[in-house]
Amino acid sequence: MTPIPGAADKATAIVDDWLHERYDQVRRDFDARMVEQCTVEMLEAVRGQTRQTGGEPVELGTGVVSVRNGHTIVDVPIAFERAQATGRVAFDADERVAGFFILASESARDTRA
C-alpha cells in the first residue's frame, strides 16, 4: 500500500487545529468509530493536559509518513514551551482519520485524544 496523497499536510493541519482548539475541524474527517469514541470533551481534556505540562505550542515540525497495517501513519513533531511531543494521525484507505494520538516524548507514553 502506498501512503494516501498529501498525508503529511493533512495530518499537520489536524494537529494544528487541535493545538488551536478547533475541535470540530479536528473531528471533520474522523471515521465512524473515532466520531463515537473521540469526543470534543476528550480532545479538550488532552489539550488541557498538554498546556499544563508543556505550555503553549512553539513549533510544528515536518510530518513523517509511514504505512502500517493498511493505514497511513503520520507523526508530526510538536515543540511546546517546556516539552516535546508527537501528534500521530492514522488514516484509513478511504482517507478518514482512524486514529489520533498525542505521544509525550519524555515518557514515550501515549495519550489518546
C-alpha to C-alpha distance for 98 and 32, rounded to whole angstroms: 9
Task: Give the three cell numbers for residue 59.
Answer: 513549533
CB atoms under 10 Å from CB of 56, counted, come to 10
pLDDT at 109 exceeding the cut of 70? no
- Express each pLDDT in 81-91 by its tens digit: 999 999 999 99
Between 105 and 65, the more confident residue is: 65
Domain boundaries defined on the chain? 7-112
Between 13 and 111, the more confident residue is: 13
Q: Are strands 71-80 and 57-60 parallel, antiparallel or unpaired?
A: antiparallel
Q: Rounded to 5 degrees, what are φ and ψ at 65?
A: -100, 135
Task: Give the three cell numbers for residue 74.
Answer: 503520520
pLDDT at 66: 97
Task: Give the three cell numbers for residue 70.
Answer: 493498511
Residue 110 binned pLDDT confidence (cut-offs 50, 70, 90): very low
Query: How does the average pLDDT of the chain come out, rounded?
Result: 93
Question: What percent of the chain clears pLDDT 90, i.e. is strictly above it?
Answer: 90
Q: Which CATH number fits domain 7-112: 3.50.50.60, 3.40.190.10, 3.20.20.140, 3.10.450.590?
A: 3.10.450.590
Residues in the chain: 113
pLDDT at 106: 54
